[in-house]
């Protein structure tokens, strides 16, 4: 898949609390919000591309660029690699107000707290989350001495950062250059690394609930299914293309199970609610599209696969598959 390199600017104002968001006015992602920017041209550094793109797009000169975040995201037909820079508008220039152009529907200064209320480009979710989280960490002073660190309850690190003779534990920040970052930003990078590490455990395919379902299907003689079948709306976890049957095995937390009422994280509630809403809408859209195409869409919730419920659940599902197959064969 081809990679598209993009540079985007997160322009800050008002002590860093507000950032500039623009609403795309064209193409298939029209109406979604994004950060101003564009493709890096041959021979340009991402910083240079960012300055050029924002001058062209908003008629402002940006300064004080600081690397903040890299988005890596697979769209259907290309991989996006987007370098995002914190920056400011050069207040000494003539043009200090960003101008909307005819490729944008809107342009808005948004406080970081309200970022999640906008509908963002699919690739921007992690970036937006990082900005929302930065809000919490922003209270940490930029440069803190060891003395100040102790005053807020943290033990200052030894020069080596560890006790003599003790084997050094692998740090999440190993291999990441944080020398140019403030304390708040370093903390944020550390949290992002922790999330990334924990997300690595969230395998999309072959999850335990999916394996349980597949085992039961095979035992019932229902084989020949396809996994994560891209050609059907919603990329069903299990699909029987010939029988036109799609099965989604949904995690209760991410997909908001109507049976077991999963919890919502206490922090960044707005962000999480928006994320969950998008997941639920996406799921509903996939089911509607499948049904329109004459498919049977079956949703199995993770909690329905618990030891005391799996027999009943899978008996129902196998029944549905068999009757739909008979119907399709008629
Ligand atoms: N500038 C920007 N682009 C983003 C964001 N999120 C995101 O997925 N993108 C994608 C959309 C585009 O595929 C690509 C940016 O390229 P671009 O601005 O040249 O836009 P484009 O390919 O749609 O349009 P064109 O100028 O080539 O016609 O990055 C974002 O926050 N800012």
Note the Cα 207 to chain centre separation in Å.
20
Mean pLDDT of 259-284: 85
Instruction: Report the residue among 11, 37, 126 best suited for mutation to probe ligand 1: largest number of ligand atoms under 8 A from its CB.
Output: 37
| Residue whose C-alpha is closest to residue 22's, from 33, 9, 31 | 33
Mean pLDDT of 268-291: 90
Q: What is the pLDDT of residue 307?
A: 92
258 burial type by CB count under 10 A (0-12 exposed, 13-18 middle, 19+ buried) = exposed
Mean pLDDT of 241-260: 93
- Asked if 318 and 222 count as a contact pair (C-beta separation under 8 A), the reply is yes
With a 6 A CB cut-off, is 121 part of the ligand 1 pocket? yes
Confidence of residue 277 (pLDDT cuts 50, 70, 90): very high
- Asked if 184 and 152 count as a contact pair (C-beta separation under 8 A), the reply is no
- Centre of ligand 1 from the C-alpha of residue 272, in Å: 25
- Centre of ligand 1 from the C-alpha of residue 6, in Å: 7
| Residue whose C-alpha is closest to residue 98's, from 44, 53, 45 | 53
* CA distance readout (Å), 45 to 85, 90, 181, 202: 12, 20, 20, 34
Q: How far apart are CA 83 and CA 70, in angstroms?
A: 5
Other beta carbons within 10 angstroms of residue 53's beta carbon come to: 22
Q: How far apart are CA 40 and CA 4, in angstroms?
A: 8
Please say if the pLDDT value at position 147 is more than 50.
no
- Centre of ligand 1 from the C-alpha of residue 87, in Å: 19
Residues of the chain with CATH 3.90.79.10: 3-118
With a 6 A CB cut-off, is 83 part of the ligand 1 pocket? no
- The tokens for 166 are 């003790």
Q: What is the pLDDT of residue 124?
A: 95
- When the candidates are 3.40.366.10, 3.40.50.1370, 3.40.980.10, 3.90.79.10, the CATH number that belongs to 3-118 is 3.90.79.10
Max alpha carbon distance in the chain (Å)? 79
With a 6 A CB cut-off, is 128 part of the ligand 1 pocket? no
With a 6 A CB cut-off, is 39 part of the ligand 1 pocket? yes
Q: Which of these ranges, 7-11, 66-70, 282-286, has the smallest mean pLDDT? A: 66-70
Confidence of residue 242 (pLDDT cuts 50, 70, 90): very high
Task: Measure the CA angle with vertex 270, ends 265 and 276; round to 5°.
Answer: 70
Question: What ipTM was assigned to the predicted interfaces of this complex?
Answer: 0.96
- Centre of ligand 1 from the C-alpha of residue 35, in Å: 9
Other beta carbons within 10 angstroms of residue 90's beta carbon come to: 14
Residues of the chain with CATH 3.40.960.10: 208-329
Q: What is the pLDDT of residue 239?
A: 95
- The tokens for 126 are 């992690």
- Asked if 303 and 252 count as a contact pair (C-beta separation under 8 A), the reply is yes
Q: Which CATH fold topology does 208-329 show?
A: Endonuclease; Chain A (3.40.960)
The residues, ordered by sequence, that sit 6+ positions from 197 with a Cβ below 8 Å of its Cβ are: 172
């Amino acid at each position: 898949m081809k990679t598209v390199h993009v540079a985007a600017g997160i322009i800050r104002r008002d002590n860093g609390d507000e950032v500039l968001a623009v609403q795309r006015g064209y193409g298939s992602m029209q109406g979604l919000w994004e950060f101003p920017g564009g493709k890096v041209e041959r021979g340009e550094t991402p910083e240079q591309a960012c300055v050029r793109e924002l001058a062209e797009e908003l008629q402002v000169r940006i300064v004080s660029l600081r690397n903040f975040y890299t988005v890596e995201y697979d769209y259907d037909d290309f991989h996006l690699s987007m370098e995002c820079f914190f920056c400011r508008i050069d207040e000494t220039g003539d043009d200090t107000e960003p101008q909307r152009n005819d490729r944008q529907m809107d342009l808005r200064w948004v406080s970081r707290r309200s970022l999640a209320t906008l509908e963002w480009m699919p690739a921007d979710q992690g970036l937006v989350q990082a900005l929302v989280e930065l809000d919490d960490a922003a209270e940490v002073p930029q440069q803190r001495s060891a003395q100040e660190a102790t005053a807020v309850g943290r033990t200052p690190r030894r020069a080596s950062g560890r006790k003599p003779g003790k084997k050094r534990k692998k740090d999440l920040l190993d291999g990441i250059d944080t020398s140019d970052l403030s304390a708040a930003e370093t903390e944020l990078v550390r949290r992002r690394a922790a999330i990334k590490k924990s997300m690595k455990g969230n395998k999309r395919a072959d999850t335990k609930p999916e394996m349980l379902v597949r085992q039961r299907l095979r035992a019932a003689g229902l084989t020949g299914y396809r996994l994560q079948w891209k050609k059907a709306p919603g990329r069903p976890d299990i699909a029987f293309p010939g029988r036109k049957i799609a099965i989604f095995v949904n995690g209760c937390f991410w997909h908001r199970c109507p049976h077991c009422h999963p919890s919502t994280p206490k922090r960044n509630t707005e962000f999480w609610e928006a994320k969950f809403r998008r997941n639920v809408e996406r799921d509903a859209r996939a089911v509607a599209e499948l049904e329109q195409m004459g498919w049977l869409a079956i949703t199995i919730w993770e909690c329905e696969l618990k030891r005391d419920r799996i027999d009943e659940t899978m008996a129902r599902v196998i029944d549905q598959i068999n009757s739909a197959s008979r119907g399709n064969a008629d």
